[in-house]
Amino acid sequence: MSSYKKRYDGRKFDEMRPIKAQVGVIPNADGSARFSFGNTKAIAAVYGPKQLHPQHMQIPDKGLLRCNYTMMSFSVTERIKPGPSRRSQEISKVTEWALSSIVDLERFPSAVIDVHIMIEQADASTRCAGINAAVMALVQAGIPMKEMASSVSIGKCDETIVTDVSKEEEDYEDGEGATDMPFTILSNTKRISHLQLDGKVSQEKFSEAIKAAMKATEKIHEIQVKALKNIGEVIEA
């Protein structure tokens, strides 16, 4: 029996925190969006496609998608030193992989699309909120895409699978402790373009986590689409 029987914030195990999504939030950008899971707030901006400099970085037969994930220094209790950290560089890279597969990069030889993601307030699942915002920003920028993508963090507290992990759940210590599994699922083909895992989980529980991720990302996708159809409006769910 799992020791985690009731969630800290009273949610059902498969329930996400309140979501807010808004498209078109940075006038200078070609596309932009905000996305939040409860107290986790992310903002993303897309610039491009544009000429890539220096020239030797250009790829002759396709475009390049570059991603830059940053946590604002005051987004967490203990100030983060500004500038790239090992963690933020890794998250930038996995986000780049997650998004590169959905953008039709063959249409932009030698060009670059820059995706900037910033976390204003952090309460776990920041990379997922960032990816959700970035996908909306890419669509708003009018960049041809193969499909969309939605991201959610599935957790395991002792033996209980939970959807959209909060900070308290990330720090759960009883029994098998906490496992964090961020997933990014493509909207049409349901393929996985991003997956990480950190913790302790059996093969059976991992299968359960995949199912939870599929279910939650379907709902996130609906919200992203609704926000894109109502540019400027805050969509809540």
Q: Closer to other proteins by CB, 28 or 78: give it.
A: 78
Residue 67 and residue 51 in contact, taking contact as beta carbons nearer than 8 Å: no
Shortest distance in whole angstroms from residue 196 CB to other proteins: 5
d(CA 188, CA 185): 9
Q: Closer to other proteins by CB, 3 or 89: give it.
A: 89
Q: What is the DSSP string of 51-91?
A: E-SSGGG--TTS-EEEEEEEE-TTSSSSPPPSS--HHHHHH
117: amino acid identity, one letter: I
Shortest distance in whole angstroms from residue 223 CB to other proteins: 21
Q: Closer to other proteins by CB, 32 or 166: give it.
A: 166
Shortest distance in whole angstroms from residue 134 CB to other proteins: 15
Residues found near other proteins in the complex (CB under 8 A): 60, 86-87, 89-90, 92-94, 97, 100-101, 181, 186, 189-203, 206-207, 210, 214
**What residues have CB less than 8 Å from 86, skipping those under 6 apart?**
none
Residue 25 and residue 12 in contact, taking contact as beta carbons nearer than 8 Å: no
Shortest distance in whole angstroms from residue 59 CB to other proteins: 9
d(CA 97, CA 91): 10
Q: Closer to other proteins by CB, 40 or 100: give it.
A: 100
Shortest distance in whole angstroms from residue 236 CB to other proteins: 29
Q: Closer to other proteins by CB, 19 or 157: give it.
A: 157
